Structure 1
Amino acid sequence: MNTPALQFTPGSLVRARGREWIVQPGSVAPLLRLRPLSGGEDEGAVIHAGLEPDIGSAQFPAPDPAQEGSQHDAILLADALRMALRRGAGPFRCFGNISVEPRTYQLVPLLMALRQDPVRLLIADDVGIGKTIEAALIARELYDRGEIQRMAVLCPPHLVEQWVRELNERFHIPAVAVTASSAARLERGLPIGDSIFHAHAFTVVSLDYIKSDRHRHDFIRACPEFVIVDEAHTCVSTGQARQQRFELLREISADAERHLVLLTATPHSGDQEAFYSLLALLKRDFAQFATASGALKETLREQLAQHFVQRRRPDIDEWQDGSVFPQRETTEITYKLTGQWDQFFQDVLDYCRDVTQRAGDDARRQRLSFWGTLALMRCVASSPAAAVQALQTRLLAEQVDNAPDEVLQTLFDGSEDHLDEDDVAPAADTGDPALHALLAQARALAGEADDPKLRLLHKHLKQLIADGFNPVVFCRYIATANYLREHLDGKFRGVTVDVVTGEFPSEERERRVEALGEADRRLLIATDCLSEGVNLQQHLDAVVHYDLSWNPTRHEQREGRVDRFGQPSPKVRATLMYGANNPVDGAVLQVILRKAEKIRKELGVPVPLPDDDHTLTQALMKAVMLRSERAGGPQQAFDFDQFEEARELDVRWTSLAEKAKTNRTVFAQRRLRPSDVLPEWERMKAVLGDSEDVRRFTTEAMSRLGAGLLFRPRRGATAPLTALPRVLRERLEAAGLEGDIGIDFTQPPAPRCRYVSRSHPLVSTLADELLERAVSGETRDNQQLATLGRIGVWRSPAVQAVTTVLLLRLRHQITTTRSGRSSVLLVEEALPVAWQGRANPAKVQGDQLLAWLQAPASGNLPEPVRQREMHSVLTLLDERRDALEAIADAQAERLLADHRRVREAADARGRYKVDALKPVDVIAAFVLMPGAGA
């Protein structure tokens, strides 16, 4: 069969297989990539123009007066048109494809990114401000602009699953996790020599997996054009693992065309070398900061301001963005060691002093005895269960000699690199027979009767729960967390209790947190495996520090899990627990935590403890143990400032804080202000609709389809999907939605409800279906009421002259030419236009047109009059076809100006052209007649 070759350019309309399609970019004759003119994105097809029996050019159908629409049809159709647009015309392309409504301050990194080519950004906003959202917005925007096709997120292993979920659910980016456990499965079936990172366009990669030489070289070979690095500060400090990570980032950044976004809440807390290493990844010239002065340094600062954004929470206030963050209420509660617990603690102190003194001058024996006693002290301060675990675990001299760093890691609260594995109680058994007596004492102390710390926690939790809070209790050790679960489960009526520790893989931790969130009242007990990066704000709103961390930034990280963007509660609580007569708690509190808090208040950001090798902390604890005495609880009289070790730590920390303060002044940025961002944001909300528009549309659409929403005060709404027509149920089931589901239109959503934005599958499916039925004029499943009329007439008090309101869908083709290569992007926009008056009608555009449609009708018109007016509109459309095309051309020019305005840095590297695709799609036409009528 010889079929004439048909040539269709991207954006043109064709008819094939009984429906209309839009030809997509990437079509190469004779193969055509098609998307339905109306319908879901997942209904696209690729067809062979020469083999299709009935394929030809198509015209968008004109409205049919035989299917007259009411004012309710007009409002619902206008909303459906806006909600169906997911290839937005600008100035931001991505807003139609995300399930989150960003705050205006979160658009600053996006605007900064769009003024760069390639994008190189260091986003260093405070904990909880929303760095994940800011980075993902950039990725989604560049993807929707056609500037990137692949992306990778590199992050610590405990954050992989969270990133995958955020990208999939909030940004509709189908990312896959690449970890040590998943890589083999992903590689299975790939052609020899192919890479995971070629086969999967969007990946979230564990830094621990990818840092090795073998995996690093494969990643660099197939590295995507856009890379996000979360917790970037963990890649530029000391240690072999971090050196491997830095080498990876250095190779990634070496490609001058690659987009790179670095995320960290602690970019330069006094560590100059680490900070300059980060900056050099953005631009090699920034390495000169280490030695630059005078004019060169000022020039570098000016350049850095384009690549570096850092906001503290007070900086967000100027955006007047509403109540973004909750109010944090902090308190401290103390317990006192008494009775058998006091006796046990003093016996432990006596043993520690004795064994340390007996070590004499033998350096090896000193290390073994000190590390064993320090492990015992930490576990005793945590819980009887942790003490028992430590006393039952043998600390061998070989461990101390061969792997001292691993031993130290379990003793001290080190870096976030080891959060998944350092909550196991350290070994304290050195083979000393005296430990057997201590073990027996520890076993006898379990339970509230003899454990004043547990007793105080129970009392405090009862008050928190009575005040309406859902707490998370952070412990240092797995043994302590399980001990608390055993003794607290069932103690609070109607409260579900669960525990999450490092003994669970990251996927199981996520599952347990989500399962706990289904309960009405919740109590979570966790170790520090959940203290960084994991979002708990949807389900929990109070933090109790059951064990003091020896790493002061860990406390802020714990509280940042609930005190962050998206917390629905207006208040969060944070409680610090410690032993009033415990010298170890006293040293940590006074020397470490109080100092850290003072610095944080003065600078507005935390400064890490300057003790990476733990030598100062070891010396401090050794001094505490050796100088502690039994009589009269002398630890209450301890003046820790008199300790030489405490003074040395203070001097070093103060110096580091001064450097951090200087850095914040030197690198203060001239960041974008609200006036730079708000106009673009308000314009996009007007084009695409806000959360109230989504609520109105979803409510009306579900009602029109016979599945009205059931609203509940402050608890969202129930959407009965089972009552929808079969074709809609099938499409929603394919998107993972079935049955009766809880939904909410505000963020964060009500408990057990899903946040529904304009890009949520429910909204997009409803919009596509109603729009397709209106355009085709067909009914399905005998749902006649669901067909929206595209033309209608009524009297309106909103107009003073006969007004024809047109709902237009404009399609534009954006051609980008860069380095001799051209790419084509199709975008769409919904545009209401009105003509007022009979003779020489005047054109009107603006937001007021939708308000005119929504103004309550003031009277009815006889059917002959309505039919006459509708046919007059069709005649008017034929007569003013050129005027409609002129509107499309004007919008194309505006779109080109928008593109150049926000992508100004790209002008030097490429050329841009925007063409309006014609004829214009007239979705609907409604005539508003002035006067009250009858």
Structure 2
Amino acid sequence: MPLVARAQIRRLLVLAPAKLVPQWQKRLRQMFDIRLQVYDRSVDTPTVDFWDTANMVVASVHTLRREVADGRSEGSRFLSADPWDAVVVDEAHHLHADERSGETLSFQLLRALEERHKIRSLLLFTGTPHRGKDFGFLSLLSLLDPCQFGPEHDIDEQLAKLPDVMIRNNKATVTDLKGNRLFTPVTVETREYAFNDEESAFYETLSSFIIDGRAYASTLDGRAQSARMLLLIALQKLAASSIAAIRSALTKRRAKLADVAEQARAPILTITEGDEDETLDDRARADEEAWSKMLAELMEGEIARLDELLELAEPIQQERKIERLVDLIERELPSGEPVLLFTEYKATQALVVDALHARFGHGCCAFINGDERLEEINKADGSRGPKSWSRDAAAEAFNQGSIRFLVSTEAAGEGIDLQERCATLIHVDMPWNPMRLHQRVGRLSRYGQTRPVQVFILRNPDTVEARIWDLLNAKLERIQRALDEAMDEREDISQLVIGMTGPSAFEKIFATGQTQSRESLDQWFDRESATIGGEDLVDKVKTMMGNVTRFDFAQVGRNLPQVDLPDLERFFAMTMESQGRRVFRRDDGLDVLTPEKWVDEDYAMQDRYKGLLFDRNVRLGDREGPTRLVGVGHTLFDRALKEGEGLQSTLAVCLRLPAPLLIASVEDQVTGQDHSVTRIVLGAWRDHEGQTHVLRDWEVLQMLNTLGRADNPTPPSVNGEQLKTLEASLLSSMEASLPTIAEMMTRPGIRSEIMLLPDENAGT
């Protein structure tokens, strides 16, 4: 983060969904040594104003938007805080505006900050900036530049201006500083299975039940029809996941209907679309619980129909899908290979956990879901009962290798890194929204993954759902081929197309496809999917892809510092030595006693530090990371920096220095309170052939790390006038390099800080 290092960003606010807040704090600390404070309502009171003291903050956008919308005092303090030099918003597609429903609370929060001039620069992250409606897309862009963008302006003129505000990268071609690809390939394979006779009989009867339920619902009006249709959709989703999931729901509904059978009139459950705060696990839970909450019958004689279904489900204790899953793991994967498995519903999740424990032993598996609990699974002693796993504990155990399998609902679809050991993912079931498949794979196909990612899909080719998936994938591939012809390089644009289509279109196709015969399915799909990847949508994608800017990290990286935390260790050790403290290297890191004066001056300073690491690649727990990982922002290191800044020397003698080295500071001479002071450090030296070398700050650091301290220094035989002449010449060379090195400055001014001289008696 060069802008932070140069003090151009002193106040940084990161807004993210609640589950991503810990990850933002952890990643910025590990990767950039930026130590964000997490906003919590408990630390913000009228007497202790959090926003008055915190300058580097990560906060849940959900929490802040509620405080502002409800007019709470916490929200008022947030809006009245000093302006932010930079605001970063993750999952920015939640900043949504619609012509009919208006702006989401998250959008209103950003708008409130902008209206109060609290944002000096804004950065939005999203994989789906356009969600199918130009109004929402242009509204999002208006947050970045309200003068150039907005739904009231001409769309074509605005699309031509996209390069000014929008960068899109092709994940397949992103590289590191050296041009190496950052993301490994992803391969997707299907593994098929077939129902046994009992399962076939159950699903045929269930299909008839759903078709009859739809027919009955179609005779009703208004809320009565909508509620029943939504419940039938929930039933279809559960059935597509597993028989265990549908059996659990049917059992609960049968019991509930029996309890109210004597009532003359039963209330109808109203089901509505989820609000901004609803998670994917919340929606899955609603599917599972809706059947027991709605008391009105779906059709005449429903109880008898439910009894028939439950009777058919009773003998099915071993599902063929689960048998195929275990067979896949046992026969096709290396022994001990870590595997991430995804299911949509907790009942299916419990079924998978039991199967893995039965085959590979208890203790091989953990799970993640929104409740952090499964109510009934098999125990090692043969009993059945509840089991709890916290989201973080399960992820930690999986990443450390304590367990081999992690079975997750959509709760792990975002905000968790699982790529450290695992490169294999299995979709036990298929959600009706294709975007969720990309989100699942994203847990493994991400920065830090070192192996190709292999993905397996379990499918029964005889089901209507599987045939719809075949047709949908074929259509997406046709769209891809059409776009390939208009693009310089191939890029997977399926996520963009899916995001612009919206989940409701896909859900409608899967829900109504159940009523189609095998012979009519293809033609029906072509009609129903006309809006998916239609000509207008494809044209929009082409326009967006053709107008956005691309970021070449390898090209920009040539000007980025080629140093990291290990390059700071020598400075730290020598500073400790100057304070009478020796740094000891142990197996787990560095140990050092803190200088007594430092402890007396700072209550946050520990008397002793153990296991300090100048290495961000070492895996550390969330609790120990802030104290053991050392860099700018660490209490002890910052105090060492302060000690160095207090040195007043302008001349020093060093060992192993080939020639005099001048170190100077360059500062932008721009005045005014709206401007942050930009300051950089340069070095310059002249070799024996008379050629002058100008060094950037990180190159100066590298050179300083090679030098030694002269205990009895003997400076070279040069007089003051010669040093002044050399200083002026080196400063002149530095000034000549400023247009390239200090291109961000308006009026750079240069000043000598210190001249380092070689020890004449020590040689080089």
Evaluate the alpha carbon distance shift between residue 526 and residue 890 of structure 1 in structure 2; reply closer, same or farther with a 3 A threshold.
Answer: farther
Deviations 1:107-151 (A, max 9, x none): xxxxxxxxxxxxxxxxxxxxxxxxxxxxxxxxxx1x443334322
Q: 2:51 aligns with which of 178, 197, 201?
A: 197
Residue 24 of structure 2 is aligned to residue 163 of structure 1: yes
Evaluate the alpha carbon distance shift between residue 648 and residue 791 of structure 1 in structure 2; reply closer, same or farther with a 3 A threshold.
Answer: same
1:446-461 matches, cutoff 5 A = 446=317, 450-461=318-329
Evaluate the alpha carbon distance shift between residue 807 and residue 539 of structure 1 in structure 2; reply closer, same or farther with a 3 A threshold.
Answer: farther
Residue 345 of structure 2 is aligned to residue 485 of structure 1: no
Shift of 1:332: 0.7
Matched residue type, 2:164 = Q
Distance 1:392 1:286 in 2: 58
Aligned to 2:631: 759
Aligned to 1:557: 439
Residue 112 of structure 2 is aligned to residue 231 of structure 1: no
Evaluate the alpha carbon distance shift between residue 662 and residue 844 of structure 1 in structure 2; reply closer, same or farther with a 3 A threshold.
Answer: closer
Contact between 1:233 and 1:274, CA under 8 Å: does it hold in 2? no
Aligned to 1:650: 530
Contact between 2:144 and 2:165, CA under 8 Å: does it hold in 1? yes
Shift of 1:725: 5.8
Contact between 1:691 and 1:757, CA under 8 Å: does it hold in 2? no
Contact between 1:375 and 1:426, CA under 8 Å: does it hold in 2? no
Matched residue type, 2:724 = D
SS at match of 2:174: helix
Contact between 1:609 and 1:653, CA under 8 Å: does it hold in 2? no
Evaluate the alpha carbon distance shift between residue 512 and residue 913 of structure 1 in structure 2; reply closer, same or farther with a 3 A threshold.
Answer: same
Matched residue type, 1:236 = H
1:771-782 matches, cutoff 5 A = none
Residue 457 of structure 2 is aligned to residue 576 of structure 1: yes
Distance 1:319 1:843 in 2: 27
The runs of 5 or more residues in structure 2 that have no matched partner are 258-264, 374-388, 484-491
Distance 1:167 1:849 in 2: 25
Aligned to 1:882: 724
Distance 2:224 2:446 in 1: 47
Distance 1:352 1:792 in 2: 84
Distance 1:371 1:513 in 2: 34
Aligned to 2:186: 328
Aligned to 1:214: 70
Aligned to 2:279: 418
Aligned to 1:19: none
Residue 725 of structure 2 is aligned to residue 871 of structure 1: no
Contact between 1:548 and 1:585, CA under 8 Å: does it hold in 2? no
Aligned to 2:467: 586
1:333-372 matches, cutoff 5 A = 333-359=191-217, 361-363=219-221, 364-372=223-231
SS at match of 2:31: helix
SS at match of 2:392: helix
Aligned to 2:370: 502
Q: 1:471 aligns with which of 339, 344, 351?
A: 339
Matched residue type, 1:177 = V
Contact between 1:271 and 1:656, CA under 8 Å: does it hold in 2? no
Matched residue type, 1:433 = I
Shift of 1:885: 4.5
Distance 1:150 1:240 in 2: 34
Contact between 2:340 and 2:408, CA under 8 Å: does it hold in 1? yes
Contact between 1:743 and 1:753, CA under 8 Å: does it hold in 2? no
Residue 411 of structure 2 is aligned to residue 529 of structure 1: yes
Shift of 1:695: 9.5
Contact between 1:464 and 1:470, CA under 8 Å: does it hold in 2? no
Which shows bigger deviation, 255-264 or 321-330?
255-264
Matched residue type, 2:81 = A
Contact between 1:744 and 1:753, CA under 8 Å: does it hold in 2? no
SS at match of 1:305: helix
Contact between 1:499 and 1:525, CA under 8 Å: does it hold in 2? yes
Distance 1:477 1:288 in 2: 40
Q: 2:127 aligns with which of 249, 265, 269?
A: 265
Deviations 1:142-185 (A, max 9, x none): x443334322222222222222222333333332334xxx32x0
Distance 2:702 2:229 in 1: 76
Evaluate the alpha carbon distance shift between residue 532 and residue 472 of structure 1 in structure 2; reply closer, same or farther with a 3 A threshold.
Answer: same
Distance 1:580 1:308 in 2: 41
Contact between 1:154 and 1:227, CA under 8 Å: does it hold in 2? yes
Deviations 1:169-202 (A, max 9, x none): 3333332334xxx32x0223535xx5x4334223
Distance 2:465 2:235 in 1: 12
Contact between 1:223 and 1:252, CA under 8 Å: does it hold in 2? no
SS at match of 2:714: helix
Shift of 1:575: 1.2
The runs of 5 or more residues in structure 1 that have no matched partner are 1-93, 96-140, 410-414, 629-636, 710-717, 777-789, 795-802, 858-865
Distance 2:415 2:102 in 1: 19
Superposition RMSD in Å: 5.1
Distance 1:924 1:719 in 2: 36
Residue 110 of structure 2 is aligned to residue 249 of structure 1: yes
Q: 1:608 aligns with which of 498, 506, 522?
A: 498
SS at match of 2:443: coil
Deviations 1:501-540 (A, max 9, x none): 11149x9423431243222663211111221343322343
Matched residue type, 1:454 = I
Evaluate the alpha carbon distance shift between residue 513 and residue 437 of structure 1 in structure 2; reply closer, same or farther with a 3 A threshold.
Answer: same
Q: 2:659 aligns with which of 805, 827, 832?
A: 805
Distance 2:701 2:43 in 1: 49
Contact between 2:138 and 2:149, CA under 8 Å: does it hold in 1? yes
Evaluate the alpha carbon distance shift between residue 428 and residue 639 of structure 1 in structure 2; reply closer, same or farther with a 3 A threshold.
Answer: same
Distance 1:853 1:927 in 2: 19
Shift of 1:555: 0.9
Evaluate the alpha carbon distance shift between residue 613 and residue 315 of structure 1 in structure 2; reply closer, same or farther with a 3 A threshold.
Answer: closer
Residue 11 of structure 2 is aligned to residue 150 of structure 1: yes
TM-score normalized with structure 1 length? 0.63
Aligned to 2:486: none
SS at match of 1:573: strand
Distance 1:764 1:740 in 2: 13
Aligned to 2:749: 914
Contact between 1:481 and 1:525, CA under 8 Å: does it hold in 2? yes
SS at match of 1:534: coil
Evaluate the alpha carbon distance shift between residue 843 and residue 549 of structure 1 in structure 2; reply closer, same or farther with a 3 A threshold.
Answer: closer
Distance 1:176 1:361 in 2: 57
Residue 601 of structure 2 is aligned to residue 719 of structure 1: no
Q: Aligned pairs, how many?
A: 698
Contact between 1:544 and 1:576, CA under 8 Å: does it hold in 2? yes
Distance 1:850 1:173 in 2: 20
Evaluate the alpha carbon distance shift between residue 174 and residue 675 of structure 1 in structure 2; reply closer, same or farther with a 3 A threshold.
Answer: closer
1:699-714 matches, cutoff 5 A = 707=584
Shift of 1:810: 4.1
Residue 316 of structure 2 is aligned to residue 445 of structure 1: yes
Shift of 1:812: 5.2
SS at match of 1:264: coil
Distance 1:690 1:652 in 2: 47
TM-score normalized with structure 2 length? 0.75
Deviations 1:540-581 (A, max 9, x none): 3222111111111111121122112221x2211111122222
Deviations 1:847-904 (A, max 9, x none): 99999999999xxxxxxxx999x5353x53756442465367447746854575135x
Contact between 1:552 and 1:593, CA under 8 Å: does it hold in 2? no
Distance 1:480 1:240 in 2: 36
Shift of 1:494: 10
Aligned to 2:45: 188
Residue 522 of structure 2 is aligned to residue 680 of structure 1: no
Aligned to 2:427: 545
Distance 1:271 1:398 in 2: 40
Evaluate the alpha carbon distance shift between residue 205 and residue 348 of structure 1 in structure 2; reply closer, same or farther with a 3 A threshold.
Answer: same
Q: 1:901 aligns with which of 732, 743, 756?
A: 743
Q: 1:283 aligns with which of 145, 150, 163?
A: 145
Aligned to 1:37: none
Contact between 2:572 and 2:637, CA under 8 Å: does it hold in 1? no
Shift of 1:227: 1.4
Evaluate the alpha carbon distance shift between residue 680 and residue 451 of structure 1 in structure 2; reply closer, same or farther with a 3 A threshold.
Answer: same
Instruction: Select the structure with the greater relative contact order (CA < 8 A; seq sep ≥ 6).
Output: 1
Contact between 2:202 and 2:309, CA under 8 Å: does it hold in 1? yes
